[in-house]
Amino acid sequence: MCVFSTTAAPDYGQPWALYAEEDVTGSGFWVSPTQVVTNEHVIKHARDVRVRPHGSARKLKCRVAFASAERDLALLEVIDDAIAKPPVLNFARSLPELYSAVAVVGYPLGGDNICVTRGVVSRLDAMAYGGEGRGERLLVVQIDAGVNSGTSGGPALDERGAVAGVAFSSYAGSADNIGYLVPASVVEAFLPVWKSTGDSARTRRKIGFHTGSCARRNFTSGARASARWASHGRRRRTRLYEGH
C-alpha cells in the first residue's frame, strides 16, 4: 500500500515555530486487519498520515501507534473503517540465504501504480541504520536491487511470499542497484514491544532513536524549507547510504 504523510519539523533555533510543511510518500503493508508497518522516516514529524490500499482510490486516516528511529520502523493504526479482509502478510521464519531471490513491492517515484523489483540477497551484515556510525549496529540484508524513492517501508518478499525484510535505504555511492532491508527478525522483535507495553512513550524509550531516509518528499514553497534543505545538504552527502 501507499503511505502519505504531511510533516512539519520543529525549528530548534526557534522552538515556538515549525518549518514549512512537506509531503512525504512511502510504502507499507498490513500486519493485522487494522495495522500497517512502514519506515519511521516516512512519518517522522507527521501531522497527518493516510494510507491507500492497493486497488483502492480511498485514503484511510491513520495514527502513529509507535515508532523507532533506531530501527527505522513505525506501526500505523488505521482510524477509518479499513477494508473488509486486508491481505495480512506473514514474516519469514529465518534470515534469507545468500543468493536467494527477493521481490521488493512498493510505490516508487514516477507513478501511482504498484511496482515489483526483483533481486537476490548479496550480503548479510550489521550496521547502524542511519549510516553515520551512530546508534546500535543491527542486522541488515543487502540486495542487488535498488530501493527507489517512494519504496521505503515496502515489503521484500521471499520465494514463499513471506516478508523477508522491509525496504529502507539504497546505496548512495557510485554503485547501482544496491538496496538494504530491515530483516524480518528485527521487525518481529520490534512489534511485541508495543503489545507488551501498550504505551508509545515507553516503547520509544525502550527501543531508542536513530533515523534513516529513503522516502519520496515534495517540499512546499517557502524560504524556511529551502534553508532547512541547504543546512542538511553537507551532512546528507557524507552518508554511506541515504534516501531520496
Grid cell locating 229? 534543505
Residue among 5, 27, 41, 169 flagged as catalytic: 41
Instruction: Verify whether residue 170 is a known catalytic residue.
Output: no
7/23 Cα distance (integer angstroms):
6
Using CA atoms of 202, 189, 74, 234 in order, give the dihedral in degrees to the nearest 10.
100
Residue among 5, 27, 68, 72 flagged as catalytic: 72
Instruction: Verify whether residue 196 is a known catalytic residue.
Output: no
Which residues contact residue 95 at a Cβ distance below 8 angstroms, ignoring those fewer than 6 apart? 124, 139, 141, 183, 184, 185
111/212 Cα distance (integer angstroms):
23
Q: Is 105 helix (H, G, I), strand (E, B) or coil?
A: strand
DSSP 7: E
- In DSSP terms, which residues pair with 195 in a beta bridge? none
Instruction: Verify whether residue 41 is a known catalytic residue.
Output: yes
Query: Cell 511496482, residue?
Result: 115
Residue among 5, 68, 149, 152 flagged as catalytic: 152
Q: Phi, psi (5° rounding) for residue 18? A: -125, 150
129/56 Cα distance (integer angstroms):
32
In this structure, the number of other CB atoms found within 10 A of the CB of residue 227 comes to 13
Helix pair 200-207, 184-197: axis angle to 10 deg: 140
The catalytic residues are: 41, 72, 152
